């Protein structure tokens, strides 16, 4: 993977990430977020993390954002378009961005471990899925089961809460 591709996809990701905030049309924002996710998936693939990249597309771009779009399309978009940007909020946003950049710069200049390069993990014919599966289902099996139970409880809770009004 050449650095050129990294810069291209990173630029796409950042530009469309910015468009999510800048666009006043919610559908345009949602679609920009999809493109940003796709570029992020490309960055994962460039690190040989095919599995995470494809899950990024499958879950976020393919399922979560479709649901978002689904909800947004049921909204009144005209009202959303008429809203003017709030000046103090914009200024506050820039301040937060500036502080965040300062914090990241501070950390990355102080922390020397970032200079070291590591051996690629996903070697061999099985690829990264095999490694992910081995680590998830052997080393962290208990934690995985606990998280699974938590998600199950949460989804049952959602069903119960959304059914409450029907009684």
Partner 1 sequence: MMHLLLFALISLIKTIGLIFVIILPMVSYTVYAERRVSAMIQDRLGPNRVGIPLTLFGFQKDIPFFGLVQPIADAVKLLLKEDFTPNHVNKFYYCLAPACAMAPSMMALAVIPFGSQLWGEPMVVANVNIGVLWVFAVSSLGVYGIVLAGWSSNSKYPFLGGIRSSSQMISYELSLALSVIPIFMICGTLNLPEIVRYQTVHGWLISPIWLNGISLFPPSINGQEIMRSFDFLKFLLWIPLFISFIVFTISMFAETNRLPFDLPEAETELVGGYHTEYSSMKFALFFLGEYAAMIVGSAVIVTLFFGGWHVPFLPTTLVDPYTFWGVILGLIHIAAFFFKVALLLFFFIWVRWTLPRFRYDQLMRLGWYFFIEIALVNVFIVAVILPFMRR
* 54 near partner 1, rule: CB under 8 A: yes
d(CA 33, CA 57): 12
- Max Cα-Cα span within the chain: 61
Within 13 Å and on the Cβ side, how many CA atoms surround 82? 4
* 81 near partner 1, rule: CB under 8 A: no
* 16 near partner 1, rule: CB under 8 A: no
Hey, which residues between 118 and 137 contact partner 1 (CB under 8 A)? 126-129
Burial 52-73 (b: 16+ CB within 10 A, else e): bbebbbeebbeeebeebbeebe
Site pattern 32..51 for partner 1 (x: CB under 8 A): --x---------------xx
* 67 near partner 1, rule: CB under 8 A: yes
Stretch that binds partner 1, among 13-21, 54-62, 134-142, 146-154 (CB under 8 A): 54-62
Q: Name the residue among 134, 136, 160 with its Cα closest to residue 148.
A: 136
Interacting residues with partner 1 (CB under 8 A):
27, 31, 34, 50-51, 54-55, 57-58, 61-63, 66-67, 69-70, 73, 126-129
């Amino acid at each position: 993977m050449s650095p050129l591709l990294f810069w291209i996809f990173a630029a796409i990701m950042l530009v469309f990430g910015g468009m999510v905030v800048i666009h006043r049309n919610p559908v345009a924002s949602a679609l920009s977020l999809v493109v940003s996710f796709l570029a992020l998936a490309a960055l994962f693939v460039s690190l040989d993390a095919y599995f995470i990249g494809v899950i990024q597309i499958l879950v976020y771009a393919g399922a979560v954002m479709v649901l978002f779009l689904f909800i947004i399309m049921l909204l009144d978009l005209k009202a959303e378009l008429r809203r003017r940007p709030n000046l103090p909020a914009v200024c506050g946003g820039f301040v937060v961005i500036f502080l965040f950049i300062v914090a990241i710069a501070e950390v990355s200049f102080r922390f020397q471990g970032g200079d070291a390069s590591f051996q690629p993990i996903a070697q061999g014919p099985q690829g990264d899925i095999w490694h992910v599966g081995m680590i998830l289902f052997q080393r962290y099996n208990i934690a995985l089961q606990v998280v699974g139970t938590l998600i199950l409880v949460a989804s049952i809770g959602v069903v119960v809460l959304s059914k409450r009004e029907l009684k």
